[in-house]
Amino acid sequence: MLVAFNKPMNVLSQFTDEGRWPGLSRFGLPKGVYAAGRLDRDSEGLLLLTDDGRLQARIAQPKAKMPKTYLALVEGTPDAAALGALRRGVALKDGPTRPAEVEQVAAPDWLWPRDPPVRLRKTVPEAWLELTITEGRNRQVRRMCAHVGLPVLRLVRTAIGPYALGDLPPGRWREEDARA
């Protein structure tokens, strides 16, 4: 079984609650599934869960190089140098990243409001980037963007390999055909 879940902001990618942060057990997910990879508490969007260990490994293992696509609201104005650095890969403390596909995109009109809302400053511009990476280090997209001077204000994963978030509302899930 493979389940696509739209993880809301401030929800953990584990079934147990931790402190004031709720876990996945509150969302009526099928018994026996577990996360294939993770999303940080302060990130939103597509989280895949499965009861198949081999499928979980194909989705989550960095050596599988399964692409993961994100929308990132960043503080600042992306320039050619910043986008070029992301496309080439950047040197983080834990080593260089693989090159990312990245484009500046229009603000998505389909995206749900975030709870709590993003604090935007009127004097600081912001922009949306669509990034696709093929590894999944801890807070990688946030660290890559910060490295090029574009701190992430909101991060939403929209796809993992052939699986897309689509119109799945936050806190809801659906079964997927396991085609990875």
Do 96 and 89 form a contact (C-beta atoms < 8 A)? yes
Active site residue 40: yes
φ/ψ region of 2 (left if φ > 0, alpha if ψ in -120 to 50, else beta) reads beta
Establish whether domains 1-64+162-180 and 67-160 are of one fold.
Answer: yes
pLDDT at site 180:
53
Is domain 1-64+162-180 in CATH 3.30.70.580, yes or no?
yes
Predicted local confidence at residue 137, as pLDDT: 87
What amino acid is encoded at 154 in this protein? R
Angle formed by the axes of helices 140-147 and 80-88, to 10°? 140
Q: Which two tokens stand for residue 163?
A: 């699986």
Listed by start position, the domains of the chain span: 1-64+162-180, 67-160
The H-assigned helical ranges of the chain are 53-60, 80-88, 140-147
pLDDT in tens, the chain (180 residues): 999 999 999 999 999 999 999 999 999 999 999 999 899 999 999 999 999 999 998 888 777 789 999 999 999 999 999 999 999 999 999 999 999 999 999 999 999 999 889 988 888 899 999 999 998 888 999 999 999 999 999 999 999 999 999 999 999 999 999 875
pLDDT value at residue 60 = 84
Q: Which of 17, 40, 42, 51 is catalytic?
A: 40
pLDDT of residue 58: 87
Q: What is the pLDDT of residue 4?
A: 98
> One-letter amino acid identity for 33?
V
Is 5 exposed, middle or buried (CB count within 10 Å of its CB: 0-12, 13-18, 19+)? buried
Looking from the CA of 178 toward its CB, the CA atoms found within 13 Å total 16
Q: Which of the following CATH numbers is that of domain 67-160: 3.30.70.1560, 3.60.20.10, 3.40.50.10070, 3.40.50.1370?
A: 3.30.70.1560
Reading the block at residue 145, the tokens are: 């963007």
